[in-house]
Amino acid sequence: MPAFASRDREAAAAPEALAAWRDLLGAEHVVTAGEALARAAAATFATAHRVTAILRPGSREEVRGCLRIAGRHRAPVYPVSRGKNWGYGSRVPAADGCALLALDRLDRILDFDEQLAYVTVEPGVTFAQVHRFLREQGSRLTLASPGSTPEASVVGNALERGIAGGLDGDRASRVCDLEVALPDGSLIRTGFGRFAPAAAAPVARSGVGPGLEELFLQSNLGVVTRLTLWLTPLPAFYQAFTFTIGDRERLAPLVDALQAVRRDRLLEAGIGLYNACKVASCGGAAGGGAWFGEGALTAPDQEIGSCQRRLLRQRLTGVVDHLAFRAPNAANPLVGPPARGSLASVYHCKAQPPPRDMDPDHDRCGIVWCCPLVPFRGSDVARCAGILEETLAAYGFAPAVGAQCLSPRAVHVVASILYDRETPGRDEAALACHRSMLAAAAGEGFLPYRLGLQGMDLLPPPADDSARLFQILKRAFDPADVLAPGRYDFRYRWPQG
């Protein structure tokens, strides 16, 4: 069985690979200028990995060709969709010396069905593009957007298991029919899509036999060139609400009350929780509360919505200090891409206000995320939030922590390490703080639901034989280790089986 290639790569791409990529794509789509490569290697924290070239294929066939060339010349490539994975590494490869396989030119919406509520997109398609398309279609469907930028890739966010507030924010659970280019250039479809014809391909996640979808989420086993995403019908009735608690010691009872509300399906939309420091970083005020929360009632009509509002008020009376409802169907955040204010929060520590065209990498904003997934129990959420707050404060960072309650069973707790990269020593402190938070949370059993470049090799070793299975799969799919080396393969720190 071939050994993995070394993680350390040469700083320049092999001349033979560059020549072949230029022949395939055209010289204008193989970027080797030093300034462009330096920008591509910049993130919202200190990085050292170098980019050897930027490849910009314009079709599925060109993606396959790029991979064949990479394998032939053992020239590693790292796929990115739009490169706006801010706080997790942006578009910096997980290993040194990779060429970026930039998929932003694959930007077509390939299929759409209003009745069955799905859309099929390529990796360059953005959230703004989908929302604009739905508006032009006069659609009553929507897509939950992440709290970053409307120019982020829908496919890239889904493959990272990105989340969003509102309705159906657990995006990865709503994808199917992935088309994937494997490292040797071959092509597969997941689910029913591997059969032709297959009418159920865009409406069923798994097909006949073992499901393959999860192999290509948070992995380096293939390049997804299209996928289908299930959309959400807009509710006829919508009413946003907010609440606060003034004492942090009441967080655990609040979480238990919210879990019961979600478990009993009184609320279908996700609930956001934010400590006062997190609210302040977004330019708001928590109304004097230690924790601030927001959610939304949804219903098929006004009468049912009014009944739900009464029940929710009853369930939260005595649990929260202030509960306020906005006017029904007013300022509906379930419609449209994320607002500018969300991205502006990463400029919180900068001396100057956010520019019109925000680019956290170029503007040297410091942002690192740490995001454990925690059981939806008050004691667990409060314990995890406390660990993150205490660690942030110990390293001199504002203890900004939030949580997204998207299901009745689990909560995504998210800590924001916010700083100005122009301040000497803060890059080093941020990465040390991130390592400490990961270790402290993992010590309590709270592991992250996604990783960034800064944490790919920081998880504890598994308690079973899964590391060996990952190695077997990687060797089978990519024996030369040319596709995204170091990305979610968990092998550099862990012993080889």
Question: Which of these three, 200, 233, 266, is where a domain ends?
Answer: 233
Question: 186 and 118, same structural domain?
Answer: yes
Residue 476 lies in a domain: no
Q: Return d(Cα 128, Cα 135) in angstroms, integer.
A: 11
> What is the DSSP code (8-state) at residue 347?
G
CATH no. for residue 71? 3.30.43.10
Question: 410 and 264, same structural domain?
Answer: yes
Residue 484 lies in a domain: no
Q: Is the peptide bond before 197 cis (omega within 30 degrees of 0)?
A: yes
Local confidence pLDDT in tens for the 497 residues of the chain = 233 333 444 457 789 999 999 999 999 999 999 999 999 999 999 999 999 999 999 999 999 999 999 999 999 999 999 999 999 999 999 999 999 999 999 999 999 999 999 999 999 999 999 999 999 999 999 998 888 888 999 999 999 999 988 888 899 999 999 999 999 999 999 999 999 889 999 999 988 988 999 999 999 999 999 999 999 999 999 999 999 999 999 999 999 999 999 999 999 999 999 999 999 888 776 556 799 999 999 999 999 999 999 999 999 999 999 999 998 877 666 666 666 567 888 999 999 999 988 999 999 999 999 999 999 999 999 999 999 999 999 999 999 999 999 999 999 999 999 999 999 999 999 999 999 999 999 999 999 999 999 998 887 777 888 888 888 999 999 999 999 999 987 654 433 33
Q: Return d(Cα 418, Cα 399) in angstroms, integer.
A: 9
CB 402 within 8 A of CB 274: yes
Residue bearing tokens 């394998």: 71
Question: 224 and 263, same structural domain?
Answer: no
Residue 389 lies in a domain: yes
At residue 100, what are phi and psi to the nearest 5 degrees? -75, 130
Considering its fold, how many domains does the chain have in total?
Answer: 3
Measured N-to-C along each axis, helices 60-73 and 15-25 cross at an angle, to the nearest 10 degrees, of 160
Rg value, the chain, Cα: 23
Count of CB atoms situated within 10 Å of the CB of 23: 12
Collapsed DSSP state (helix, strand, coil) of residue 276: helix
Measured N-to-C along each axis, helices 378-394 and 426-443 cross at an angle, to the nearest 10 degrees, of 150
Question: 217 and 170, same structural domain?
Answer: yes
Question: 149 and 242, same structural domain?
Answer: no
Structure tokens at 250: 């009441």
Q: Return d(Cα 265, Cα 151) in angstroms, integer.
A: 32
Total residues belonging to the chain: 497
Question: 117 and 136, same structural domain?
Answer: yes
Question: 251 and 305, same structural domain?
Answer: yes
| Identity of the amino acid at 457 | D
Question: 433 and 300, same structural domain?
Answer: yes
Q: Give the range of the structural domain holding residue 55, as residue numbers without chain letter.
A: 15-102
Question: Which of these three, 102, 125, 141, is where a domain ends?
Answer: 102
Collapsed DSSP state (helix, strand, coil) of residue 244: strand
Beta bridge partners of residue 401, listed in sequence order: 415
Question: Which of these three, 233, 256, 274, is where a domain ends?
Answer: 233
CB 202 within 8 A of CB 111: yes
Give the model confidence (pLDDT) of 127-142 as tens digits: 999 999 999 999 999 9
Question: 255 and 156, same structural domain?
Answer: no
Question: 406 and 297, same structural domain?
Answer: yes
Question: 255 and 401, same structural domain?
Answer: yes
Residue bearing tokens 């989420």: 217
